[in-house]
Amino acid sequence: MINKIFNIIVSVLILASYFPVKSQDVASDFEKINEAYVKISEISMEMEYKAFSTFESSAPIEKTLGEIKRSGKRVYYKTGNIESLYDSVNNILVDHEEKMISISPALKFSGNILPDKKLFDMALKMCEKITYKNINASLACYSMYAALPEYERIDIIFNKKNYIIEGMNLYFSSKQNLTDDENAKEEKPRLEITYTSIRLSPAFAENEFSEKRFLNKNNEQYTPVAALKNYTVINQTIK
């Protein structure tokens, strides 16, 4: 997962980019969002995930904090007990709960979050409607309604000045029980993701995107650093 932003936005952009909206030019706005992420070489932000048991719930049943940092094609991502590091050589995932470090070959990432036009055209058939709303002087929101396997509605909240995404609301298609009560009624949940403390020219530590934060390497053999000495290393780069 190159990070949650890009994975979800790809699904949204498939639905949105060639769909006409009378109140606003959705294709133009999402193209500008894409251009913003392509042009930005360095960015950092904090994020918060809030899970709600129903579409209408006001009190979250679970909260998870995280952060995203990007420098060029190197990305650091943290959510809860999971840390991920992506560079041009390897992808590293650290699961602090399971005490496991996984190393896999690098994913190609150009910074472009738009899929190709074929996917746009195919997805139009699934899209029911797109609505646009001005939240305030700085923020606007597109709501996409579609019969997707996982989501029936996705809200994208973006900054109208720099076209950086500041939030997403995901409305799930299937009913689930997210509570601790096994007998509770299953409802369609929603997930709210908020991005704050967004910095477009952050100063990163020298080892911010280095695998040496988690691993020692000796003759192509990886071992965990002293602070993670009890972690299991799974190396998927060995052919």
Q: Where are the domains of the chain?
A: 4-73+109-204
Over residues 57-89, the pLDDT tens digits come to 999 999 999 999 989 888 898 999 999 998 878
Average pLDDT, the chain: 82
DSSP SS3 for 37: helix
H or E, element range at 11: helix 4-16
Binned at pLDDT 50, 70 and 90, residue 226 comes out as very high
Binned at pLDDT 50, 70 and 90, residue 125 comes out as low
Fold classified for 4-73+109-204: outer membrane lipoprotein receptor (LolB), chain A (2.50.20)
The predicted pLDDT at position 24 comes to 56
Over range 142-166, report the average pLDDT.
87
The predicted pLDDT at position 209 comes to 92
- Say if residues 146 and 157 touch (Cβ distance below 8 Å): no
The predicted pLDDT at position 116 comes to 46
The predicted pLDDT at position 126 comes to 66
Distance of alpha carbon 39 from alpha carbon 194, whole angstroms: 22
With 80 as the cut, is the pLDDT of residue 15 above it?
A: no
Torsion angles phi and psi, residue 193, rounded to 5: -120, 125
The Cα-based distances of 116 to 12, 17, 26, 113, 124 in angstroms read 13, 10, 16, 10, 13
